[in-house]
Chain A
Amino acid sequence: MKRSKAAVVGAAETTQLGVIPNMSQVQLHADAALNAVRDAGISISDIDGIATAGESPESLAHYLGITPTWIDATGVGGCSFLMHVRHATAALESGLCRTVLITHGESGRSRIAAAGFPIPVQGSLLQQFETPYGTTGPATMFTVPVLRYLKAHGLGEEALAEVAVVQREWAAKNPRATFRDPISVDDVMNSRMISYPFRLLMCCLVTDGGGALILASADRAKDFRRPVYIAGTGESVETPMVSQMEDFTTSRAFRVSGREAFQSAGITHSDVDHLMIYDAFAHLPLYGLEDLGFCKPGEATAFIRERNTAPGGKLPMNTNGGGLSYMHSGMYGMYALQESVRQVRGIAAAQVPDVKISVAHGVGGMFAASSTIVFSRDAH
């Protein structure tokens, strides 16, 4: 493994998760930020770099009283916060700032001063070439490639149901998870049809919440209580139109981002003790397991069915319950990062024994963007 350049030195979610009707979007950012600052044992005045998506960095800086000298407002959907970690690592390494705050907050369910789901810009590629045919929200676009994936690999719709069942097992161990009652494949297959072939329990929740991270250079990290080192990072984009993916059975952005993260960390798949794959819908962990190289094309379903990602399995995945059962405010990436950090720190609700390396992998838009972060317990 290569030597880490930066570390997460503070991490926290909002005090509440789920339905939070008494907090606006910017309040959720601030609540998470203050919790993370407290976790790091620093004060707001120590922060000189900020990164956020869904909320403007100007609002964040003003609301918290921060005077930043480094700002990142990369906003490519749910994996933006993983990209912020990658960009912050580079900024810390090059001395552009010393202490970075990354925040997410979204009133996804209560819609209190919420930014709202992006409506295609008039004249944009999406608005010209997909919207006229009746696409609306993510359920009508994100799901487009999956029928091709299932047919190419000779799989049935139950492949999607099994993802949801295993993740509910993890959620059952997590007191903060929104849905905790066990479900069966039949429960998923009998749930209400949303957008063929996706049924209700194959789709993420819609909840309120937020999360924040504090990053510092690896040289300073040892001065903090529980640093989690950034060992490697990756990012990429493909297309804003899901219909124009190069191949419906695999995401180019996933492959490029994952390869870059593993190579920059200097790790192989057998080094990974814990994995988070952003699951806005049940097909994403299948694509993620294959595009990151943990499974060969078409083999992720069997890998999950054989309980490799379940409690007690060799590659515990989405151990908070994921977007399908834990929480999903709209841009879930921050919660994947938070669970990776908890697992490496050894404080997760469903703690995996002795996690030295955790990988968090995110998606943005409808396979439009991706980012991958490799976390390490040791600086190396």
Chain B
Amino acid sequence: MEQIIKVRFSANGQHPELDLDPRTTLLDALREHLRLTGVKKGCDHGQCGACTVLVNGQRINSCLSLAVMHEGDDIATIETEDSAIIAALQDAFIEHDGFQCGYCTPGQICSAAGMLDEIRRGVPSHVTKLLGEETIQITDAEVRERMSGNICRCAAYPNIVRAIMQAAGAVP
């Protein structure tokens, strides 16, 4: 028996209403139903980070979430036009050559946007020395640890870190 579920969420400011097989992942809903093909399918198992999007401002792997679980949510992908930090990260990735093939880049940039917000909100990481302190310094080590959920097969990591550090400084 095939079930079809009506789901409505916001995606980059659009408000589509979709009739979906509940098996549809958020990733497939964005790419195949809304044609937001900026978000990429890499491993489809949450290991590579290419599918990273922002849901209500938080980064998640869109491949490991069902679209029907996102009723009413606010979703931003690399195509969003109303995020100053995503725009700044795009410029910085170009300036610092933060990619070769570019397939992981949309996920890297959405992940970096979520990551910088996490630092602003005082979310600690594995490399944060003192957990009791609410203010976290943005360092190379923090960026590397916090971006470990995004794999770059071309190994552009040094330039990705530089691009993120520049964008972090450019947007308050």
- A and B: partners? no
Could you tell me which B residues sit within 8 Å of A by CB distance? none
Residues of A within 8 A of B (CB): none
